[in-house]
Amino acid sequence: MDSHAGSVRSWRRGDLLFASGGALARLDPRLAAPAALRLPIDVPTPSVTRIEIFDRPPAVNSFQFARSVEPAVRPPRVVRPRPVEPPCEEPAPATDPAAPKRTRIAPPRDVVKLSERFFFLLQPDLEAILETSSLAFPRQPFPFQLDGMAFLVPRHGAVLADEMGLGKSMQAISSLRLLIRSGEARRVLVVCPKGLVSNWTRELADWAPELLVAVIEGDPQRRRWQWSLEDVPVKVANYEAVVRDRDLVAELGLEFDLVVLDEAQRIKNRTSNTSEAVRALRRKRSWALTGTPVENRAEDLVSLFEFVAPGHLNDRMSPRALGAAAADHVLRRTKDKVLKDMPPRMNRDERIELSPEQRETYRRAEEEGVLRLSALGQEATIQNVFELVLRLKQICNFDTATGESAKLDCLEAELEEIQASGKKSLVFSQWVETLGRLKTRLARFGALEYHGGMSTAARDEAIRRFKHDKQHNVLLLSYGAGAVGLNLQFSQYVFLFDRWWNPAIEDQAINRAHRIGAAGAVTVTRYLSADTIEERIDEVLRKKRDLSDTILSQAEAPASSGLTTEDLFALFKLAPPIRAAA
Amino acid sequence: MEQTPGEQPIDLAFGFLTAVDSPSHGLFGGYLLVDPAGRPLEFHCTAPVKVSRAQQILYGATLQSHLHGRQIGATLLAEGTVAPELVLTDFEPMLHVRSHTSLPVALVTRADAAVAPNAEASSFAIGSVSVSPHAQDAGLGEALRQKLESLVASVDLAEPFERIRAAIEEAQRH
């Protein structure tokens, strides 16, 4: 067919063209003309219409991709001993063999170069990658967890904001494992709260057993050595260590291919040492894991993004604009959406009448407190209000004069029933002192304590006994220590003896039990003392919950976005002083 | 990059060739080379080719073979820097590329789809698809099947064509 092009180029006037079967031929009219035919000498020149044929091949864009680096044989990993506890049993995800799911790794919006977008688009589906990478999993990931991995892997800045209990750490570990396997990451740092370091080492051992892990801990000399370890791809440090070793990390010139922040709401205060130290880490990828990207205010998300994608969000943006700008970086799933078969969570708000003596103590304390605040006038501070709130909440738990507790009476009765059914319960309180009093009264249920005042070893031992010993059916936890990281899905009852300031923390507490692997329905009982400060705070908390939903769903902003100074003063029907309101 | 013991040999590749007809742009050709794990090694795609009515008339019955076999197929194959074990296509007119290459070429159809009209006795089922080698490669049926076994362990043979289509769609948006 190349000859056609040549034919066209050498057309002469008077040629006859024949098109047949795509072939273009030229005949000399003198040869083709019948002998009897006499052509007039002055025959007019026929007009010629040029028709383009495919005379040159189309332009081609070519892209070549680096081959993935399969892992070298690695030495056995033992940097810290594994905990002896067996992993909790989790149900196998329901799969439909007739319709195998294919999870595609889609390029993020901020990947602009076509070659880079092609790199993601032309990869096999995640299921195929996992199958061919010899990446064994201790349990088959749920489809939504594969979606989470497909979200994290291509992103340099990502917030995995799944509801607690959906396996954020597992998704992060499996994703960083893929990056290490493909050679895209060689140095990974996981930063988590101190109490969760052992959780992370356990999960890393479960989900990425071939990876060497170093925990940054011990004296300065030891930590320097740990930070410097070249051949350990994953390091785990708590937030305090990152703050403490900020200069050391800079001095060593460490740069990480990936930094994962667990419980990333820790950096919501932009000016805190923690936030500054974390943001100072030199890194290529920044992933934040949090079930509560917006705890109190929209600014929480902006602060988080100062780590994830600096400058991408700012405080001047409306909640709707924040949601839109953050959308491609944030993935949030809730249990009701992704775990249709998960046991239900039943919420009971139990309104408890204070005993007459308790009521009297409460009334006196409130009246005196409000009088004091009124007397302070413009001198009243938020701290004064806060102290009064705490005092009243404590009276709602226990009468300071008589030690009576209507809540505890109620709890005791409920625990008796639960004990009879052989089920286990978690009880949360804001105060360690309250936990101590509860422990005394609930000794017959084998109540154990778990709070920040205990050593790590003592806390681990409490969890072990609660899990395995049938004599211990009640675990008393502080919100501070027990709301994050623990997997207590064998517990079917959760009691919030008093309320935390923030609904997100309460959710975290509840999700210690209501998470993947929960054996049955989880019943959550929230105690509220009738006609007290607790009810008033509850009302504010409900509004705060709306704020998180607003940003994450890009809905309209609610009227109130948190427990503001005005809110606190309004709890006592007081107007805030002018300077405080400003 | 230094090869480590776990790496797969670099010289084994499989080609996937198809065309996507875009009403607004024309016909795009896409050629994806993958390793035995199904991971992309190279991707080549053509600028859109628009066929005019006059060209349809002039080429008549030879249009398909010229357009898909020569213009798009052969052009794309010439761009590959790795010679694949064979070239698979899910678009029957692309089989014409066999006239312009020494590589074996085969048509992939869903196993539950109707048998291609010119399917040869050398066709075989593998994974969820049927593979029908070009008539010129009719004698290679068993050899091709064996070569494809490693790839089928990693990917469904119909799946890489979806990737090509997704990439071409992306290229149109870009």
Here the ipTM equals 0.85
Question: Which candidate from A52, A62, A117 shows the least CB-CB separation from B44?
Answer: A62
Give the C-alpha separation, B102 to B24, whole Å: 34
Distances (CA, A) of B28 to A66, A435, B20, B74, B169: 25, 70, 5, 13, 10
Chain B residues inside the 8 Å CB shell of A69: 1, 4, 7
Q: Please name the residue of chain A whose CA is at the shortest distance from the CA of residue B11.
A: A67
**Nearest residue to B84 (alpha-carbon basis) of B33, B50, B151:** B33
* Confidence bin at A577 (pLDDT 50/70/90): low
B48, B25 Cβ separation under 8 angstroms = yes
pLDDT for B7 equals 41
pTM score: 0.65
- Residue A39, token pair as written in the block: 């052509």
Interface test with A, best of B7, B21, B25, B39 (most A CBs within 10 A): B39
> What percent of chain A is helix, strand and coil (3-state, nearest 5)?
40, 15, 45
A32, A44 Cβ separation under 8 angstroms = no
pLDDT for A422 equals 81
pLDDT tens sequence across A86-105: 333 444 444 444 456 789 88
Q: What's at A526, amino acid-wise? A: R
- Residue A360, token pair as written in the block: 């009297």
Chain A residues inside the 8 Å CB shell of B163: 121-124
Chain B residues inside the 8 Å CB shell of A129: 37, 39
Q: Please name the residue of chain B whose CA is at the shortest distance from the CA of residue A104.
A: B163
| Mean pLDDT within A340-359 | 82
Question: Which candidate from B7, B61, B167 shows the least CB-CB separation from A118?
Answer: B167
pLDDT for A176 equals 97
pLDDT for A7 equals 41
Instruction: Please give the residue range of the domain that contains residue B154.
Output: 14-166
A94, A341 Cβ separation under 8 angstroms = yes
pLDDT tens sequence across A174-226: 999 999 988 899 999 999 988 778 778 888 998 999 999 999 999 999 999 99
Q: Which of A129-133, A209-213, A513-517 has the lowest mean pLDDT?
A: A513-517
Q: Please name the residue of chain B whose CA is at the shortest distance from the CA of residue A21.
A: B60
Please, which residues have CB within 8 angstroms of residue A219's CB and are 6 or more apart in sequence?
Answer: none
Do the domain assignments include residue B5? Answer: no
Give the C-alpha separation, A295 to A265, whole Å: 8
Q: Which domains does chain A have, with CATH numbers?
A: 1-58 (no CATH), 114-338 (3.40.50.10810), 345-570 (3.40.50.300)
Q: Which of A265-274, A563-572, B146-155 has the lowest mean pLDDT?
A: A563-572
A25, A4 Cβ separation under 8 angstroms = no
| Mean pLDDT within B43-72 | 89
What letter does residue A104 receive in the DSSP assignment? -
* Confidence bin at A384 (pLDDT 50/70/90): confident
The answer on pLDDT for A554 being more than 60 is no
pLDDT for A509 equals 84
A438, A446 Cβ separation under 8 angstroms = no
pLDDT for A540 equals 78
pLDDT for A483 equals 66
| Mean pLDDT within A520-541 | 86
Give the C-alpha separation, A215 to A63, whole Å: 41
* Confidence bin at A1 (pLDDT 50/70/90): very low
A60, B45 Cβ separation under 8 angstroms = yes
- Residue A500, token pair as written in the block: 């935390």
Sign of CA dihedral A30, A33, A37, A39: negative
**Mean model confidence pLDDT for chain A:** 80
Please, which residues have CB within 8 angstroms of residue A468's CB and are 6 or more apart in sequence?
Answer: none
The answer on pLDDT for A364 being more than 60 is yes
pLDDT tens sequence across A252-264: 999 999 999 998 9
What letter does residue B68 receive in the DSSP assignment? I
- With CB atoms and an 8 Å threshold, state whether B75 touches A124: no
A492, A513 Cβ separation under 8 angstroms = yes
pLDDT for A102 equals 85
Residue B6: count of CB within 10 angstroms of its CB: 13
Residue A295: count of CB within 10 angstroms of its CB: 20
Q: Please name the residue of chain A whose CA is at the shortest distance from the CA of residue B73.
A: A57
Do the domain assignments include residue B22? Answer: yes
Q: Based on the number of CB atoms within 10 Å of its own CB, is A122 exposed (0-12), middle (13-18) or buried (19 or more)?
A: buried
Chain B residues inside the 8 Å CB shell of A133: 37
The answer on pLDDT for A438 being more than 80 is yes
* Confidence bin at A414 (pLDDT 50/70/90): confident
Q: What's at A481, amino acid-wise? A: A
- With CB atoms and an 8 Å threshold, state whether A64 touches B47: no
pLDDT for A97 equals 45
pLDDT top residue among A106 and A516: A106
Q: Please name the residue of chain A whose CA is at the shortest distance from the CA of residue B64.
A: A22
The answer on pLDDT for A520 being more than 80 is no
- Residue A242, token pair as written in the block: 């990152």
What letter does residue A268 receive in the DSSP assignment? -
- Torsion angle of the four alpha carbons A248, A251, A256, A261, in this order, in degrees rounded to the nearest 10: 30
- Residue A100, token pair as written in the block: 């195998």
pLDDT tens sequence across A448-462: 999 988 988 898 899
What letter does residue B21 receive in the DSSP assignment? E
pLDDT for A72 equals 31
pLDDT for A275 equals 96
| Mean pLDDT within A383-401 | 90
pLDDT for A386 equals 85
- With CB atoms and an 8 Å threshold, state whether B167 touches A57: no
> Three-state SS for A287?
strand
pLDDT for A303 equals 93
**Nearest residue to A258 (alpha-carbon basis) of A177, A159, A174, A188:** A188
CA distance, residue A69 to nearest chain B CA (Å): 7
Give the C-alpha separation, A53 to B23, whole Å: 20
| Mean pLDDT within A82-88 | 35
- With CB atoms and an 8 Å threshold, state whether B60 touches A71: no
Give the C-alpha separation, A252 to A329, whole Å: 30
Do the domain assignments include residue B100? Answer: yes
Sign of CA dihedral A267, A271, A277, A283: positive
Chain B residues inside the 8 Å CB shell of A131: 154
Give the C-alpha separation, A411 to A422, whole Å: 16
Question: Which candidate from B40, B58, B75 shows the least CB-CB separation from A122?
Answer: B40
| Mean pLDDT within B129-151 | 92
Domain CATH number, residue B62: 3.30.2170
Length of chain A: 582
Cα angle: A104, vertex A293, A393; to 5 degrees? 145
A159, A308 Cβ separation under 8 angstroms = yes
Question: Which candidate from A53, A64, A121 shows the least CB-CB separation from B58?
Answer: A53
pLDDT for A208 equals 94
* Confidence bin at A81 (pLDDT 50/70/90): very low
The answer on pLDDT for A74 being more than 50 is no
First to last CA, chain A: 83
Interface test with B, best of A70, A121, A180 (most B CBs within 10 A): A121
pLDDT tens sequence across A464-503: 899 889 899 999 999 888 766 677 878 888 999 998 877 7
Residues of chain A with pLDDT > 90, as a percent, come to 38
CA distance, residue A114 to nearest chain B CA (Å): 7
pLDDT for A138 equals 81
Give the C-alpha separation, A30 to A561, whole Å: 93
| Mean pLDDT within A222-243 | 96
Give the C-alpha separation, A219 to A423, whole Å: 43
pLDDT tens sequence across A288-338: 999 878 877 788 899 999 999 999 999 898 888 888 999 999 999 887 777
- With CB atoms and an 8 Å threshold, state whether A21 touches B60: yes
> Three-state SS for A256?
strand
Do the domain assignments include residue B8? Answer: no
Please, which residues have CB within 8 angstroms of residue A125's CB and are 6 or more apart in sequence?
Answer: A102, A103, A104, B159
Please, which residues have CB within 8 angstroms of residue A373's CB and are 6 or more apart in sequence?
Answer: A380, A384, A385, A388, A572, A574
Interface test with A, best of B31, B58, B173 (most A CBs within 10 A): B58
**Nearest residue to A344 (alpha-carbon basis) of A545, A518, A164:** A518
Q: What's at A363, amino acid-wise? A: R
Which element (helix H / strand E) includes A202? helix A197-207
CA distance, residue B81 to nearest chain A CA (Å): 9
Which residues of B, range 70-89, sit inside 8 Å of A by Cβ?
70-72, 74-76, 79, 81
Distances (CA, A) of A262 to A199, A218, A297, A301, B11: 11, 21, 20, 15, 42
Total H helices, total E strands in chain A: 24, 16
Give the C-alpha separation, B71 to A492, whole Å: 67
Residue A275: count of CB within 10 angstroms of its CB: 20
A13, A48 Cβ separation under 8 angstroms = yes
Residues of chain A with pLDDT > 70, as a percent, come to 78
**Nearest residue to A184 (alpha-carbon basis) of A129, A236, A140:** A129
The answer on pLDDT for A69 being more than 60 is no
A274, A266 Cβ separation under 8 angstroms = yes
Do the domain assignments include residue B83? Answer: yes
Q: Which of A26-40, A49-63, A143-157, B140-154 has the lowest mean pLDDT?
A: A26-40
A124, B38 Cβ separation under 8 angstroms = yes
Give the C-alpha separation, A403 to A407, whole Å: 12
Chain B residues inside the 8 Å CB shell of A60: 44-47, 75-76, 79
Do the domain assignments include residue B2? Answer: no
Question: Which candidate from A59, A69, A118 shows the least CB-CB separation from B47?
Answer: A59
CA distance, residue B11 to nearest chain A CA (Å): 11
Q: Tell me how many domains chain B contains.
A: 1
The answer on pLDDT for A16 being more than 60 is no
Do the domain assignments include residue B148? Answer: yes
| Mean pLDDT within A66-74 | 48
Which residues of B, range 13-72, sit inside 8 Å of A by Cβ?
29, 32, 34-35, 37-49, 52, 54-55, 57-63, 66-67, 70-72
pLDDT for A326 equals 92
Do the domain assignments include residue B130? Answer: yes
pLDDT for B10 equals 53
Q: Please name the residue of chain A whose CA is at the shortest distance from the CA of residue B80.
A: A62
pLDDT for A262 equals 93
| Mean pLDDT within A58-66 | 86
- With CB atoms and an 8 Å threshold, state whether A131 touches B60: no
